[in-house]
Amino acid sequence: MLNIASLSVVLPLAAALVLPHETPECTTFAKSLDLDGYNATLLNATYYPVHALNVSNTFNNVSFCEVYTSISYGSGNNTLVAATWLPDRLQYNDRFMAVGNGGMAGTIDYPGMLVQLNSGMGFAVAGGDAGHRASDNNGGGGEPGVYLPYLHDKEQVTAWIHDAISLFTPASKALTAAYYGQDANHSFYSGCSTGGAQGLALAQYHPELFDGIVAGCPGNWYSHLALSFLWNAQHTAVRPTSAKSLMSPC
């Protein structure tokens, strides 16, 4: 017969063995969602078993449900495309992680998302394209004489560097809560360069969204940063004859 002392050991063990809320079938789950309250529209959903996704020769070590959404913002027809990766319940540790962008953005940082998914920390992971398409903007790179439409759209510029993460995070958090049956216990953000600047903007304008923010190498103070790029370009673009005159003879 079990005594009180035995029960004090057995009951916690039994509680630990109770299976958590089971995750639903990926595509069926996505089709059942109503995201209107987040200005979001479902685009598609795909389930990836372990090692089914290859991102720059790195594979997913965790099976997950990928959900794409389109977030409307601004006064016109601007949209941001976001991906949310929802690992199977046993690999999920009630943590949400959003990742930022790099450079001029326009694409989702899939390598950064995969790092977080494979980290062993049990994250549901989300990322977005910052509210414009690299395909419409010289592939996401700038060069002399090339017109970049997003830099001439104030709403897209503001989304890119200030609001992008805050635009998709509420919808991605709602997806996470619906998939697992409860809100994540903790939410985090990680980004570098442009993503670092986005992290600073989050801390300043949207501190309520995350419990922790990693703003690595932030490319902030853009009025000065952009001029420093221009200064460097002008002073390194010397003519061949000038460059030759700077060389010391052997």
- Kindly report, residue by residue over 82-139, the tens digit of the pLDDT: 999 999 999 999 999 999 999 999 999 999 999 999 999 999 999 999 999 999 999 8
Helix axes 164-180, 194-205, angle to 10 degrees: 80
User: How far is it, in rounded angstroms, from Cα 172 to Cα 97?
Assistant: 10
Compute the distance between CA of residue 208 and CA of residue 195 in angstroms, rounded to an integer: 18
Give domain 20-245's CATH number out of 3.40.1000, 1.10.150, 1.10.3470, 3.40.50: 3.40.50
Segments of the chain scoring below 50 in pLDDT? 1-2, 4, 6-19, 250
Take residue 202 and report the two structure tokens written for it.
């989050």
DSSP 150: G
pLDDT of residue 16: 41
- What are the structure tokens assigned to 43, written together? 């685009």
State pTM to two decimals.
Answer: 0.84
Distance CA 59, CA 137 (A): 29
Residues 6+ apart with CB under 8 A from 10: 2
Q: Give the pLDDT confidence score for residue 175 in this predicted structure.
A: 96
For the chain, which residues make up each domain, given as ranges?
20-245
